[in-house]
Amino acid sequence: MSDRHKILLIDGMSFLFRAFYASAWTGGYRQTSQGVYTNAVYGFTKMMLDYIDLTRPSHVAVGWDVAARETLVRSQWYDGYKSNRAAPPEELIPQFDLVKEVTDAFSVPNLGCPGYEGDDVLGTLSTMLAEEGHQVVIATGDYDSLQLISGQVSVKVLKNGGKHEHYTPESLLATKGIKPEQVVDIKALMGDASDCIPGCPGIGEKTAHKLISEHQNLDNLYSRLDACTPKLREKLEQNRDQVYLSQKLATIIRDVPISYDHDEARWEYEDGRVREKLEELEFGRTLLSRI
């Protein structure tokens, strides 16, 4: 038997928030008879099982954010990082712990590290596992993870309606005209309002794509500023430090000090333990039938 495995890495926060808002917009705050909110956990569990059915992995693990914004490594580099994030809805807050009880019942490791984000956990794991010769599939709602793609690592980006986009190095080049290592440099130029990454004022997505396509990377671009129009050159020169800071903020960290046990991530679980947890949450026959 080959010792090379297929590992599904799930972006926990991405799944949980998507599951919450998919039901919340209809007013569907699912609750148990005791009044415990479970709509996000129910949706998360269904999505996790859907992606396991889709990818047929031998191993599964979930990466989580485990720190407040103020304590993130990136907040130390840049005080404004994610400063626009509102507090999560009160119906969702109790479900952060509850969802980990469900994944734990499935014997799926919940992995996180103070100061780092789920992306960093997945970046560290995917890089380590790929180096060991395993095949890795990352399931996330975040296009930032496209920088992690390689011959051993593919990314499924969640879309509305239960759909997703599947990316490999070849499909990324075919659909977006870029390589995985160029994802960060494009974001460094255009910035990202959702994460408060400043980028270069006056440069949008189209110009950022064009510049990186022409020059391959940020360092080449800055060594060839004479090739740019005077107006563009001025913008890039004036905001050089901010652009390189944005590059640093956008780069997924791949050496997070996390503890990962490959055997514990094997996709095996005790039916009775899972059934007991799902019945406790009153998840009903549809989900129970999948156990």
At 238, which CATH number? 1.10.150.20
One domain for residues 16 and 97? yes
One domain for residues 122 and 263? yes
In a domain? residue 1: no
One domain for residues 110 and 205? no
Domain count across the chain: 2
- Tens-of-pLDDT digits for all 291 residues of the chain? 357 899 999 999 999 999 998 886 666 688 899 999 999 999 999 999 999 999 999 999 999 998 777 788 999 999 989 888 888 899 999 999 999 999 999 999 999 999 999 999 999 999 999 999 999 999 999 999 999 999 999 999 998 877 899 999 999 999 999 999 999 999 999 999 989 999 999 999 999 999 999 999 999 999 999 999 999 999 999 999 999 999 999 999 999 999 999 999 999 999 999 999 999 999 988 888 888
What is the per-residue pLDDT for 1? 33
What is the distance between the alpha carbons of residues 103 and 45, in angstroms, rounded to a whole number? 8
* 99 φ, ψ (degrees, to nearest 5): -65, -35
CB 122 within 8 A of CB 16: no
What is the per-residue pLDDT for 71? 81
One domain for residues 40 and 58? yes
What is the per-residue pLDDT for 115? 93
In a domain? residue 88: yes
Q: What predicted TM-score, i.e. pTM, was given to this entire model?
A: 0.94
* Tokens at 180, concatenated: 């995985």
What is the distance between the alpha carbons of residues 146 and 153, in angstroms, rounded to a whole number? 10
One domain for residues 143 and 157? yes
